Amino acid sequence: MFVHGKFRSSATSIVQAAESMQSGVEGGCSSTKTESAVGKIERSLRSLLGKVAKHSDFEDAQLFLFFKENLPDLEGQIRDLEADHSETNLGNDALDRIRNLRSAPTTAGAVSGGADVASAQAVVVALKAYAESLEIHLEREERVLVPRWLNLSAEMYAKYRTYLVGKYRLVY
């Protein structure tokens, strides 16, 4: 799915940027460069989290509702996917780690501006955990729903379309 691919690509790019930032912190990169990199990582993560949240809202209110009401054999799996959507702690944890990095006091071995190595490492670990959880969720959606979605009969697809609202009627 196109949108899932975009989410994966964004998550990978954010992790790579964080790893690069971590290397810079470890190498004594200037606080100005570090702050710039951290700001870009934070903006990218906030953007991704916002897009994932909107996509999840669509799935919960329209896509999952259709499947629950019309394909009851998927109800348990849909509940699991909905639970994933309500679990946003890993993305928020990564944002917290970024804030901690920005406010970390300068300690022995830290670069000027407060970007210490341990805080930079914590950002990378948190972002990798978020990216991994996102990947697991996307794979589960693709395994559980996509085959059924793509193989709806013409009658069921017409019924599915009645669940769509707004821009999603144009896309799906």
Rg (CA), the chain: 20
Q: Is the dihedral of CA 50, 52, 66, 80 positive or negative?
A: negative
Res 16: pLDDT? 98
Res 112: pLDDT? 47
Could you tell me which of 171, 163, 92 has the C-alpha nearest to residue 133?
Answer: 92
Q: Answer yes or no: is 172 within a domain.
A: no
Contacts of 159 (CB under 8 A, 6+ apart): 66, 70
Provide the 10 A C-beta neighbour count for residue 130: 25
Q: Answer yes or no: is 74 within a domain.
A: yes
pTM to 2 decimals? 0.88
Q: At 100, which CATH number?
A: 1.20.120.330
Provide the 10 A C-beta neighbour count for residue 32: 10
Domains contained in the chain, number: 1
Domain span at 14? 2-166
- Could you list the pLDDT tens digit for every one of the 172 residues in the chain? 799 999 999 999 999 999 999 998 888 877 788 888 999 999 999 999 999 999 999 999 999 999 999 999 999 999 999 998 887 788 889 999 998 888 765 444 454 445 588 899 999 999 999 999 999 999 999 999 999 999 999 999 999 999 999 998 888 8
Res 109: pLDDT? 46
Could you tell me which of 24, 55, 56, 58 has the C-alpha nearest to residue 38?
Answer: 24
Q: Answer yes or no: is 135 within a domain.
A: yes
Q: Answer yes or no: is 171 within a domain.
A: no
Res 151: pLDDT? 96
Q: Give the CA angle between residues 156, 158, 162 to the nearest 5°.
A: 110
Contact 70, 119 (CB under 8 A): no
Contact 68, 74 (CB under 8 A): yes
